Each structure stands twice: as structure tokens, then as C-alpha cells.
Structure 1
Amino acid sequence: MRFEHLGAEPRIHPTAVVAPTAVISGDVEIGPDCQILHGAVITAEGGAITLGENVIVMENALIRATATNPVHIGDHVLVGPMASISGAVIEEEVFLATGTRIFNGARIGERSEVRINAVVHLRTTLPPESTVPIGWIAVGDPVQLLPPDRHEEIWAAQRELDFPGYVFGLDHETPDLMVQLTERYGRSLARHEHDRRLD
């Protein structure tokens, strides 16, 4: 399903194959020989999304751009089932395994692997040819690779990256943080009310 969002329509190369249950919304460009499988959602929420050549987006993966962080995915990238990319740059020949999470402002260097259920956090740069092990967290620039049981170290690095400030423009110490966050984000997402289905 293709949708016009904020006046922008997806552009899909004629050699790309998009499953009928995939959702492509807004300022999205899908390059030659890409495969977008069932249930995948590629949605440009105010920022552009570009997929290079021979990109595979598997079942139920989510790719989302924001006005602050567009998404660029280089050639020959595989985005695994249920993976999530939000406002990040993925360079060429990268493997993102099942359930990986890539956050806003992250950059994944070419020929890297982010393995099953691993996370590349906000504003983190993963150098070329890196590997994030199964379930581990990559955080910061320069990057630290940490297992999930080292929560205090992960949280210390995350606090410096300031997720609510960077993504939502809100101070982490705001007393009613979730009230302001959900109301502001809800207003932004409500712009889908005017989307127009193209197929």
C-alpha cells in the first residue's frame, strides 16, 4: 500500500518488488531491485527515506524518518524481520538481523553486522566492519559495545546521549515528561489524518 503523506508520494523503481501488505508512506525512494516483504512499514515522518540498490526489507520491519533525522540505506543491505530503524544512516553491505533496533542519529558503517536483538543507540557511530553481538548494545561515539547485563554502564552512556531531548526536544527532568511527550508526539502523528492512499 502506498500513501501520500505531507504532500509527498513514494517513488519506487520499476524493478523493485513491494509486497501488497507492505506500507510505503510519504517521501520514500526505493531503488532498483529492492525487495520489500509482507508487513514491512517504511514511513517518512517529515524526513526523507532513501533505499539504494538490492536492499531487502523483511517481514514486519519498520523504517521511520523524522524531520530531524532522515534515513539513508546503502546498497546491498538486509533489514531482518521485525527490525526497526529510526532516523539513521546505514552504509553499504550491512546486515541487520532479526529484531535489531537502530535509533535516531545512528550511523552504521559499511559491511557491519548487528546481530539478533542487538541495539545501536541514539547518536551512536558504528565503524565499518563492526559486529554487535546477539542482544548487545552499541552506545556512543566513540562506540562502546556492552552486554545487556551491564545496565549501569549502558544507562550512564545513554543519559549523556539525551534521548528525550534529542528526539522530542524535552528535558529528561521535566516533571510531566510523558504527558508533554505523548501530547507533542501525538499532534505530530495526527498529520496522517490527511494521508491519501495511492493504490
Structure 2
Amino acid sequence: MILEFRGVKPRLHESVIVMESAFVIGDVEMGAESSVWFGAVVRGDVNAVHIGEKTNLQDMVICHVTQGGWPVEVGSEVTVGHRVTLHSCKVGDRCLIGMGAVLLDEVEVGDECIIGAGSLLTPGTRIPPRTLALGAPAKPRREVTAAELQEFRDSARRYWEYAQGYQHLNLNRTA
């Protein structure tokens, strides 16, 4: 469901697909061919959320912001896995954020990174571009490979194809 909050409506490219049980609220901007999956919540109520093109926010993802803090900024061709929490943080282009990862305030993830499933990025953590980071707290482990970089693009494309299978349900309703 797409909801206005205090007079601010989400600004979604016409191709964006939001599943019926997902919520996109307030000051949220999303680029072309992006998708918000079942049970996800994208709350731009006290600050902004910016999502790039060809990015998928999978089932049960939470995007929220801190009043007076950073917005949430997620780049293009990003796969955000099931049950990820993104809170007032920045994620670069062509990243994979593994299932159940938590990115807290003022975390910055560079382009072409992998954040491992279940990882915890504590406030202020910086992950350099093309880095695999794992753990709680997450630490850089190694450089991302060319094959992994290709998988990011393939994953973004596949999720867009999956999302198109739901278009016939007329999901993008505004309340």
C-alpha cells in the first residue's frame, strides 16, 4: 500500500511494483523497475528514503530513518534480502545485502559490496567499495569477485522479472 504522510506522497516511478502487504509511506522516492515485496515497510515519515533503479526490497525488509539524522539512500541494481533492516544509512550501487542483515545509523556501504546474511553494521561503520563484509559486528573480509559482481546484476534483473508476474494484481494502490 502506498500512503501519504503529513501531506507528503511517495514519488514512485510508474514501473515500480509494491506488493499488496507492503507499505511505502511518506517521503519516499523510488526509481524505475524497483520493487517492494511482501510485508516490507519503507517509512519516510521523519526523514527521506531514496531507492535507485532496478533495486528490490525483498519480503519483510524495513527501511526507516532517524529524525534529524541521515536519510536512507539505496543505489541502483541493489538486492536487499529478506528481513534486512536499513536505518538511516547509505548503500551504493550493485550491492547484495544478505538476509537478516542490520545496517544502523550512518552506516555507509560502497558500490559493489556484499554484506553477509545476519551481519550487523554498527553505527558509523564504513565498508569500502567491492568488499565482502561479514559478522556481528561486520568486518571487511575480502574483495568481491567479477563473478559476484555479475550475480548482482543478474539478481536485480531476476527480481524485476518475478515482480512483473504480479502486475496483473493491480498492486500499486494509494490509500
Q: Which TM-score applies when normalising by structure 1?
A: 0.68
Q: For the Cα contact (< 8 Å) 2:127–2:140, is it kept in 1?
A: no
* Cα deviation code 1:104-131 (max 9, x no counterpart): 1110001010111011110111110111
Give the structure with the higher percent helix: 1
What residue in structure 2 maps to residue 13 of structure 1? 13
Quote the RMSD (CA, aligned, Å): 1.7
How many residues of Structure 1 are paired with residues of Structure 2 in the alignment? 143
Q: Supply the distance in 1 between the matched residues of 2:73 and 2:126 (Cα, whole angstroms).
A: 14
SS of match in other structure, 1:29: strand
- For structure 2, the 5+ residue unaligned runs are 142-172
Where do 4+ consecutive residues of structure 1 move more than 6 Å?
Answer: none
What residue in structure 2 maps to residue 4 of structure 1? 4
Q: Supply the distance in 2 between the matched residues of 1:52 and 1:116 (Cα, whole angstroms).
A: 22
Q: Supply the distance in 1 between the matched residues of 2:9 and 2:97 (Cα, whole angstroms).
A: 27
Q: For the Cα contact (< 8 Å) 1:37–1:59, is it kept in 2?
A: yes
Per-residue deviation, 1:69: 1.4
Q: Supply the distance in 2 between the matched residues of 1:128 and 1:97 (Cα, whole angstroms).
A: 16
Q: Where do residues 1-199 of structure 1 align in structure 2 (5 Å cutoff)?
A: 1-67=1-67, 68-133=69-134, 135-138=135-138, 144-145=139-140, 198-199=174-175
Give the structure with the higher percent strand: 2
**Percentage of pairs with the same residue:** 24
Q: Which TM-score applies when normalising by structure 2?
A: 0.77
Q: For the Cα contact (< 8 Å) 1:45–1:66, is it kept in 2?
A: no
Per-residue deviation, 1:145: 5.0
AA aligned to 1:96 is I
Q: For the Cα contact (< 8 Å) 2:101–2:120, is it kept in 1?
A: yes
What residue in structure 2 maps to residue 176 of structure 1? none
| Structure with more contact order per residue of length (Cα contacts < 8 Å, sep ≥ 6) | 2
* Cα deviation code 1:25-80 (max 9, x no counterpart): 11001110001111010001311111110000000010112231101111000110
